[in-house]
Structure 1
């Protein structure tokens, strides 16, 4: 009897334990099926330019989804073509070649071939005004634009400026087009989100995500000294074909124009700040030349220590004044600097009363000056201090 009662109690406890396990398992399954992990989205913080993570339902999508939904339709692919004429190889002019083969080859052997190119751009006006890079449309005699929805249009280049690598293109026969909102690149901070949109390798509507890595990166530091720009640097993937496409902020506003990459590195891309494009877009759209004052000198930053070290070198070809400033390394012929009387080995210490310590400072002062308006260069030449008036001229493709 005791054995029977004990068995009954054991069976009762065992049943309760089994039911508890089953109910617990069922509860875990329901919880996991009804509550998917919430993705992390971001929203801008008032007046800070930084982003704070917040949990939001997955149905709302990420900030990238919202940015592309707002702007993606205004990003276009640009296809170009140009005719290149080639003449017979120089070896045909070699006397030995002509003696061996005779005159079986005509004096001129012009050949034409079509060269195609591809890039990106983005619409900034409902009537089809597109911003892109100058190098995307350079020399093109045929320009075609493809919209995100697949429509294709012929286009024409209204204006192009190689110095800033900016161009404005007009889509023919189009209206009521989507536009890209333009942001304020001066408000960007290192670490802010950066979204690159374009057609790398002909793959339309490609989106990559990164951050702003550096602000105001001088063109001279990235290997393109013929440009006069300070770039936004980003690690958002930029590839051939991205050129001319927008770099967006977290709100979907264009804050840059994707332009260049570092060929020997990964995750180093550069974009023209959108505020520079804002300054020049109307000038380019009107087909006018963008003013670029220049004086015509090559420079090296110098300190008293560097100058002393150079002067102590027995192989040095000239004596450098041991002061802080900017050394004139070379004077380009037939330029404002040459005409004004600046010389190699002069040290520029001031311009219009403002001390200068780097070539970048001088370039910025000259760029912001007016063509034909004199700038007073204070220079040290040997033991003498001179004030020389230099009138900047329009920079040409030298």
Structure 2
């Protein structure tokens, strides 16, 4: 602990002007600019350093700005990463490459145009990620749902806010897509999340000010890549399950809506402070919606202006047959009229033992089988009824 305090004192001594005030609210890694902006960039001290003293960090690494003569080195972001043993973790060029790759695609999202023009910080602002070069941006639902007006400020010196149009949103996944009227934007590259694994280092990037290439960055390791959050009644076949990446990188207002990226600067998830606060009891971790999961929601919003979801229309519970302990499945408690299950001929007391060619032991098996399908698809289903197996064909209908 004393060593941590010593590190913090040394960092503050290096980066804090004599007449400045401390602010433990965020981590600043900014593009080098004019003298005015150089002075402005001294405002904040890393939350990661502060969090270490409270034991909230674990695998998160410290970020330290290096000032002095090197501040004028073109557009290069200059910083240093150290761990609690005060030894280098990454080659600086590797981190710089990751930041440089994604930074131009990270934007500021807000509702106060004047405040954004002035470059003032606001707890109400968040970040977004450019997903199409003609102005489409993904962000958090929680950042735009109550805003009468939405403005987007691109990263880079002298950027002015654009008025944005809300294309669609989804409250349960905390995602929204907005569009601004411009072209030739730098699009973020999505990673193959099948390749990430626990222990991999990731970077949570945000730009809530939109004034420089990057505004709020935290580092940490992937704690789990297979966490799922569930929304809806426990026994409903229509409850929703979303895959999230659990990370030790801090996710706060400065980078919510922004990107969780790998060391190559490729997006592995969309940061969400709302999901983190709602579903995580341990404040040492953060949640980002896994990018493949996010992509399906984004595609639905782009195609239909909303997220289309299947309505199976039944409640069920896991069961082992009392007559034959080798039979496992999902017991159908009730079936809703006009749902996919009802129209396929499913009945209360049926036991679903197979769906889409896969054995069923619990309700989550059915939800997982639907992940690879869309509305309008027909999937085979086997149920046990009166001690005999029945074949059903379920046409996936939209939940309207």
SS at match of 2:128: strand
Alignment pair present for 1:213 and 2:217: no
Native 8 Å contact 1:186 1:275 kept in 2? no
Separation in structure 2 between the aligned mates of residue 281 and residue 66 of structure 1, nearest angstrom: 27
Instruction: List aligned pairs for 1:219-234, cutoff 5 A.
Output: 219-220=229-230, 226-234=239-247
Alignment pair present for 1:171 and 2:180: yes
Match of 1:328 in 2: 332
Native 8 Å contact 1:128 1:177 kept in 2? yes
Q: Structure 1 residues 355, 161: CA separation in 2 closer, same or farther (over 3 Å shift)?
A: same
The structural deviation recorded for 1:280 is: 5.3
Separation in structure 2 between the aligned mates of residue 181 and residue 195 of structure 1, nearest angstrom: 14
Instruction: List aligned pairs for 1:362-373, cutoff 5 A.
Output: 362-373=366-377
Separation in structure 1 between the aligned mates of residue 95 and residue 333 of structure 2, nearest angstrom: 48
State the structure with bigger RCO (CA 8 A, min sep 6), 1 or 2. Answer: 2
TM-score (norm 1): 0.62
Instruction: Decide which structure has greater strand share.
Output: 1
**Structure 1 residue runs without a partner (length 5+):** 1-38, 42-52, 82-115, 309-318
Native 8 Å contact 2:243 2:293 kept in 1? no
Instruction: Decide which structure has greater helix share.
Output: 1
SS at match of 2:341: helix
Native 8 Å contact 2:217 2:255 kept in 1? no
Separation in structure 2 between the aligned mates of residue 254 and residue 369 of structure 1, nearest angstrom: 24
Larger radius of gyration: 1
Q: Deviations over 1:175-216 (max 9, x none)?
A: 444443322222211111111122579998211111111122
The structural deviation recorded for 1:382 is: 4.8
Match of 2:98 in 1: 67
Separation in structure 1 between the aligned mates of residue 88 and residue 146 of structure 2, nearest angstrom: 48
Q: Deviations over 1:254-291 (max 9, x none)?
A: 11111321342212322222234445545533555554
Separation in structure 2 between the aligned mates of residue 376 and residue 286 of structure 1, nearest angstrom: 27
**Structure 2 residue runs without a partner (length 5+):** 1-79, 113-122
Decide which of 212, 233, 248 is 1:235's aligned counterpart: 248
Separation in structure 1 between the aligned mates of residue 233 and residue 339 of structure 2, nearest angstrom: 24
Separation in structure 2 between the aligned mates of residue 212 and residue 330 of structure 1, nearest angstrom: 40
TM-score (norm 2): 0.62
Native 8 Å contact 2:251 2:271 kept in 1? yes
The structural deviation recorded for 1:73 is: 3.4
Match of 1:299 in 2: 316
Separation in structure 2 between the aligned mates of residue 300 and residue 332 of structure 1, nearest angstrom: 15
